[in-house]
A and B are shown apart, each in its own frame.
Chain A
């Protein structure tokens, strides 16, 4: 049973396109997150949702729009993709402030 899953695992696209990454967790957690890992492997929080409500929105361009249809799902939509958006995007979930469990990551390559 996969605890936190993401689709797709790999995404290759052209500059200017719009793409989405989906995340689902079956752990019964109430908080979900998106992190970005850049080419130097540095991990940084982008967004977090608690019970479908946005609670953290770090300094992320508004081309990135998260959506949480329910507690178990958190999707990330990216408009007008740029070269600098190439990275690995991780979804994670937790019970409020407890341990965060990560999905397998989505490697996004913008050409």
Chain B
């Protein structure tokens, strides 16, 4: 069974600084997607970034980038120039590309941003 592990329950970053959120996963599949979702206090689940396993290049979306290490099954999220609006819960998630796919989530990490 696929599992996603986020071992840090909380992190804090100073505004304008850089922070990295860790995620590891376990799967026997070779073709899959990995995601980071952001959940602010409004509880809306917002897609931050997506990585396709077959792509070696790390995904980037503005201030958000990932470090995808397929062999190590590691998928960390780097947030540069942190802003107050980045404060939220962040979930790492995995889905394989076959039939009956579903998102498997990590437990999430609460990120606070200090002004």
Kindly report which residue of chain B lies nearest to residue A101, judged by CB atoms: B47
* Interface size range on A against B: 20 to 34
Query: Is there contact, CB below 8 Å, between A43 and B47?
Result: no
Query: Is there contact, CB below 8 Å, between B47 and A99?
Result: yes
A97 sits at the interface (CB 8 A): yes
Q: CB-CB < 8 A to A33: which residues of B? A: 102-103
Q: Which of A60-104 contact B (CB under 8 A)?
A: 88, 90, 92, 96-102, 104
Q: How far is the CB of B87 from chain A (nearest CB, A)?
A: 15
The stretch of B16-24, B67-75, B77-85, B90-98 in contact with A is B90-98
Query: Is there contact, CB below 8 Å, between B99 and A88?
Result: no
Q: Give complex CA distance A100, B46 in Å.
A: 10
Q: Give complex CA distance A82, B25 in Å.
A: 33
Q: How far is the CB of B72 from chain A (nearest CB, A)?
A: 24
Q: Give complex CA distance A35, B103 in Å.
A: 9
Contact of A55 among B46, B89, B100 (CB under 8 A): B100
Query: Is there contact, CB below 8 Å, between B103 and A100?
Result: yes
Query: Is there contact, CB below 8 Å, between B45 and A105?
Result: yes
Q: How far is the CB of A44 from chain B (nearest CB, A)?
A: 7
Query: Is there contact, CB below 8 Å, between A88 and B96?
Result: no
Task: Scan A40-58; emit 1 where CB is below 8 A from any B CB, else 0.
Answer: 1111110010000001100
Q: Which of B35-76 contact A (CB under 8 A)?
A: 35, 37, 39, 42-47, 50
Could you give 6 example pairs across A and B, Cβ below 8 Å? A41-B89, A48-B100, A97-B98, A102-B44, A105-B43, A107-B43
